[in-house]
């Protein structure tokens, strides 16, 4: 059994074995702490899975895959709808757990739960749309005596590996489509935030998911992740996380289906004709939502020189009005980062940027795991705050004179998911939408806008595949052709 949480731990703490293998919950030989990033309190201990657990999970998942494939699409949809119903009914407990294990503010956690409900419902709907099409064999000589169609079949066992920052909805983005398409899943949630995923697994099983269809392995990814993704019995690896981890996983996985949802360093352009107030407020929200721990969070803003000072002053004022502190307080806008070490990294990057000539317009001083929302200007291109993914509450402003120069500067990073432009000009919006090298371009919205139904993924180095339920279902399916010959 897991250690009992201490008396001061939240009442919703998970007190149970955390490995779900072969239809039963089991403990591990060793355990790791899950701590609240805001106050450092112990929430629970979870088991550290081993390569031997991986073997057991894979054997179970192969059984579970046959069980999933045997379900009708209607039955799969019903399980996902029932899970969504239970999640909606239990939203407060899930939101509190997200906040406890990640430090995400309670308003954001509550929104994540409602998005996760939607992601599961979209998955249920997609299960019932798993239809193929007929093929026009007769469009080519020799095809007149043939007719047929294509259908979607499950790929098999999917290893789903998720990050800490949206521990519920990002798990739903993998589990929902995988089950809709008839696959089984071995889920490896983030080391720091596995508890919401465990609660989600409980709901899915209670909703009637075949017990072998979902195996869940907690612990440190580095201890057993390679054994998991390298197995020839894993048909697909669906990973969301950092680029460096993604590279390790892709190398270990070898030739198999891989989806890589990696990080980014998102850029926004604010044109001379933009609504300054709306753009500055959207950028402040987009930069500092979830304490900047958002793969589509705004990190670099290119502002036309004619409105630069007015934009900067408005964004600084909006940012300074944000409430920093206890993530459980509904009034709080910015909570802690996932760990003190991450806030220390932000402080080190800030010191480096200042030493290289950047100016801190607001913020910049760490307090424990909290790094305040911080705005820089005059940051040189070689500072880490500019060239690397920050994944923290910092943003840099740059004046520009020419739109093409701003587009080129926005594109001058390795990883991109979304980019954005604020402008009243249709022409400039079109021009930027074509020129910005990203997987999504938002017009008059921050880069952090995402609807769970839209195709979502990365552009440029390393990113592979698309999530957004319908698109993930396709990637988690094989296309099979059936051809009848009358001759
Ligand atoms: N593109 C997206 O949709 C998206 C969404 C959210 C976060 N992210 C990215 O995730 C990163 C932050 O999340 P993080 O710090 O949790 O990322 P991370 O890369 O440190 O960890 C992600 C997951 O990989 C696991 N892992 C680590 N080593 C492994 C190994 N050798 N084998 C198998 N699994 C292993 C971890 O345990 C965790 O579950 C940022 O770069 C962010 O941009 C991307």
List pLDDT tens digits, range 293-327: 999 999 999 999 999 999 999 999 999 999 999 99
CA 163 – ligand 1 centroid, Å: 4
Q: Is the CB of 118 under 6 A from ligand 1?
A: no
Distance between Cα 338 and ligand 1 center (Å) = 13
pLDDT reading at 5 higher than 60: no
| Segment 227-230 long-range contacts (CB within 8 Å, at least 24 positions apart) | 227/51, 227/54, 227/55, 228/54, 228/57, 228/58, 228/159, 228/186, 228/188, 229/159, 229/161, 229/253, 230/254
For 390-411, write each residue's pLDDT tens digit.
Answer: 999 999 999 999 999 999 999 9
The residue contributing the CA closest to ligand 1 atom 2 is 261
Domain borders along the chain are 15-262+463-481, 266-443
In 3-state terms, what secondary structure has residue 137?
helix
Backbone angles phi, psi at 336, to 5 degrees: -75, 165
Q: Is the pLDDT of residue 257 over 80?
A: yes
Q: What is the CATH number of domain 15-262+463-481?
A: 3.40.605.10
The answer to whether the CB of 475 is under 6 A from ligand 1 is no
Task: Give the pLDDT score at 2.
Answer: 39
Mean pLDDT, rounded, for 350-366: 98
Cα of 3 vs centre of ligand 1, distance in Å, is 27
C-beta of 290 in contact with ligand 1 (< 6 A): no
The residues annotated with a catalytic role in the active site are 261, 295
Residue-wise pLDDT for 134-157, tens only, equals 999 999 998 999 999 999 999 999
Regarding the domain delimited by 266-443, which CATH topology (the fold level of the hierarchy) does it fall under? Aldehyde Dehydrogenase; Chain A, domain 2 (3.40.309)
Instruction: Calculate ∠ Cα 172-108-337, nearest 5°.
Output: 95
Please work out whether the CB of residue 165 comes within 6 Å of at least one atom of ligand 1.
Answer: yes
- Please work out, in degrees rounded to the nearest 5, the angle formed at the alpha carbon of residue 357 by the alpha carbons of 351 and 359: 75
Q: What is the pLDDT of residue 464?
A: 87
Cα of 244 vs centre of ligand 1, distance in Å, is: 9
Task: Give the residue, out of 227, 242, 266, 391, with the most ligand 1 atoms within 8 A of its beta carbon, to mutate for a pocket test.
Answer: 242
Looking up tokens 């939408």 gives: 433
Residue 364 Cβ inside 6 Å of ligand 1? The answer reads no
How far apart are the C-alpha atoms of 117 and 83, rounded to whole Å? 8
Written as six digits, the tokens of 50 are: 């081993």
C-beta of 191 in contact with ligand 1 (< 6 A): yes
Atom of ligand 1 nearest to the CA of 263: 43
What is the model's pLDDT at position 463? Answer: 77
Measured distance CA(156)–CA(470) in Å, rounded: 18
Residue 237: its pLDDT value, please?
Answer: 98
> What are the beta bridge partners of residue 236?
158, 257
Ligand 1 within 6 A of 448 CB?
no
| Tokens found for residue 37 | 């990033």
Determine the pLDDT at residue 408: 98
Residue 216 pLDDT: 98
Best mutation site among 37, 51, 115, 163 for ligand 1, i.e. most ligand atoms within 8 A of its Cβ? 163
Q: Ligand 1 in contact with 154 (CB < 6 A)?
A: no
Query: Is residue 389 in contact with ligand 1, taking CB distance under 6 Å?
Result: yes
Q: Which of ligand 1's atoms lies nearest the C-alpha of 220?
A: 37
Which position has the token pair 């071995």?
186
Q: What is the DSSP string of 142-202?
A: T-TTEEEEEEEEE--EEEEE--SSSTTHHHHHHHHHHHHTT-EEEEE--SS--HHHHHHHH
Q: What percent of the chain stands above pLDDT 90?
A: 94
Alpha carbons 225 and 222: distance in angstroms, whole number? 6
What are 317's two structure tokens? 């004022």
Q: For residue 255, give the DSSP letter.
A: S
Whether 165 has a pLDDT exceeding 90, the answer reads yes
Measured in angstroms, how far is the CA atom of residue 251 from the centroid of ligand 1?
15
**Partners of residue 147 on adjacent β-strands:** 484
The yes-or-no verdict on residue 1 having pLDDT over 50 is no
Closest Cα to residue 46, out of 5, 12, 91? 5
How much is the average pLDDT of 325-344? 98
Query: Is the separation of the CB atoms in 345 and 353 below 8 Å?
Result: no
What's the farthest any 2 CA atoms get from each other in the chain?
Answer: 78
Could you tell me if 165 and 175 are in contact, meaning their C-beta atoms sit under 8 angstroms apart? no
pLDDT greater than 90 at residue 332: yes
Cα 341 to averaged position of ligand 1 atoms, centre (Å): 16
The pLDDT assigned to 15 comes to 53
For ligand 1, pick from 119, 245, 263 the residue to mutate: most ligand atoms within 8 Å of CB.
245
Beta bridge partners of 261: 240
pLDDT tens across 90-134, in order?
Answer: 999 999 999 999 999 999 999 999 999 999 999 999 999 998 899
pLDDT value of position 255: 95
pLDDT at 319: 98
> Distance from the CA of 415 to the center of ligand 1, in angstroms?
15
Summary mean pLDDT of the chain: 95
Place of tokens 């432009």: 421
Report the SS3 class of residue 472. helix
Ligand 1 pocket residue status of 440, Cβ below 6 Å: no
According to the model, what pLDDT value does residue 52 have? 96
Pocket lining: 223 vs ligand 1, CB cutoff 6 Å: no
Query: Cβ of 134: how many Cβ atoms within 10 Å?
Result: 9
Distance CA 279, CA 328 (A): 28
Look at residues 163, 161, 96 and name the one whose alpha carbon lies nearest to residue 338.
163
What separation in Å is there between the alpha carbon of 240 and the centre of ligand 1?
5
Residue 13: pLDDT over 70: no
Question: H/E element holding 24?
Answer: strand 24-26
Give distance in angstroms: CA of 238 to centre of ligand 1: 11
User: Which atom belonging to ligand 1 lies closest to the Cα atom of 243?
Assistant: 41
Nearest atom (ligand 1) to Cα of 261 = 1
Q: Express each pLDDT in 200-231 by its tens digit.
A: 999 999 999 999 999 999 999 999 999 999 99
461: confidence class by pLDDT, cuts 50, 70, 90: confident
Atom of ligand 1 nearest to the CA of 249: 32
- 11 band by pLDDT with thresholds 50, 70 and 90: very low
For residue 51 and ligand 1, the question of a CB distance below 6 A is answered with no
pTM for the full predicted model? 0.95
| Closest residue CA from atom 26 of ligand 1 | 221
| Res 4: pLDDT | 42
Q: How many residues does the chain have?
A: 487
CB 50 within 8 A of CB 29: yes
23 within ligand 1 shell (Cβ under 6 A)? no
CA distance 485 to 431: 50
């Amino acid at each position: 059994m897991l250690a009992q949480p201490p008396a001061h731990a939240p009442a919703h703490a998970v007190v149970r074995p955390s490995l779900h293998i072969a239809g039963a919950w089991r403990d591990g030989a060793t355990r790791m702490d899950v701590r609240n990033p805001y106050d450092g309190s112990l929430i629970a201990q979870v088991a550290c899975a081993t390569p031997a657990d991986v073997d057991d999970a894979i054997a179970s998942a192969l059984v579970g895959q046959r069980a999933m494939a045997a379900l009708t699409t209607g039955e799969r949809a019903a399980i996902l709808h029932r899970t969504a119903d239970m999640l909606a009914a239990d939203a407060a407990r899930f939101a509190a757990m997200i906040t406890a294990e990640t430090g995400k503010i309670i308003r954001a956690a509550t929104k994540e739960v409602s998005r996760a409900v939607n992601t599961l419902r979209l998955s249920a709907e997609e299960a019932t749309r798993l239809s193929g099409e007929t093929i026009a064999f007769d469009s080519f000589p020799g095809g007149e005596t043939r007719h047929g169609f294509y259908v979607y079949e499950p790929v098999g066992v999917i290893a789903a590996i998720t990050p800490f920052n949206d521990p519920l909805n990002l798990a739903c983005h993998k589990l929902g489509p995988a089950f809709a398409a008839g696959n089984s899943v071995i889920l490896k949630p983030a080391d720091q935030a596995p508890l919401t995923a465990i609660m989600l697994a409980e709901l899915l099983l209670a909703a009637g998911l075949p017990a072998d269809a979902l195996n869940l392995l907690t612990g440190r990814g580095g201890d057993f992740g390679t054994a998991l993704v390298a197995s020839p019995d894993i048909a697909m690896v669906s990973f969301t996380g950092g680029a460096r981890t993604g590279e390790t996983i892709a190398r270990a996985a070898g030739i198999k289906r891989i989806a890589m949802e990696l990080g980014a360093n998102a850029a926004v352009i604010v044109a001379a004709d933009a609504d300054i107030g709306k753009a500055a407020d959207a950028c402040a929200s987009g930069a500092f939502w979830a304490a900047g721990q958002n793969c589509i969070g705004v990190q670099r803003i290119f502002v036309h020189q004619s409105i630069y000072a007015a934009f900067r002053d408005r964004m600084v004022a909006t940012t300074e009005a944000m409430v920093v502190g206890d993530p459980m307080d509904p009034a709080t806008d910015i909570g802690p980062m996932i760990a003190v070490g991450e806030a220390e990294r932000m402080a080190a990057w800030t010191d480096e940027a200042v030493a290289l000539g950047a100016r801190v317009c607001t913020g910049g001083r760490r307090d424990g795991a909290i790094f305040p929302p911080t705005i820089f200007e005059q940051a040189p291109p070689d500072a880490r705050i500019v060239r690397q993914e920050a994944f923290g509450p910092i943003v840099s402003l740059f004046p520009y004179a020419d739109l093409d120069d701003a587009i080129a500067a926005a594109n001058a990073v390795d990883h991109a998911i979304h980019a954005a432009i604020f402008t009243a000009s249709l022409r400039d919006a079109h021009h930027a939408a074509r020129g910005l090298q990203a997987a999504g371009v938002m017009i008059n919205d921050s880069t952090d806008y995402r609807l769970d139904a839209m195709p979502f993924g990365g552009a440029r180095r390393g990113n592979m595949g698309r999530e957004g339920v319908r698109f993930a279902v396709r990637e988690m399916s094989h296309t099979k052709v059936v051809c009848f010959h009358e001759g």
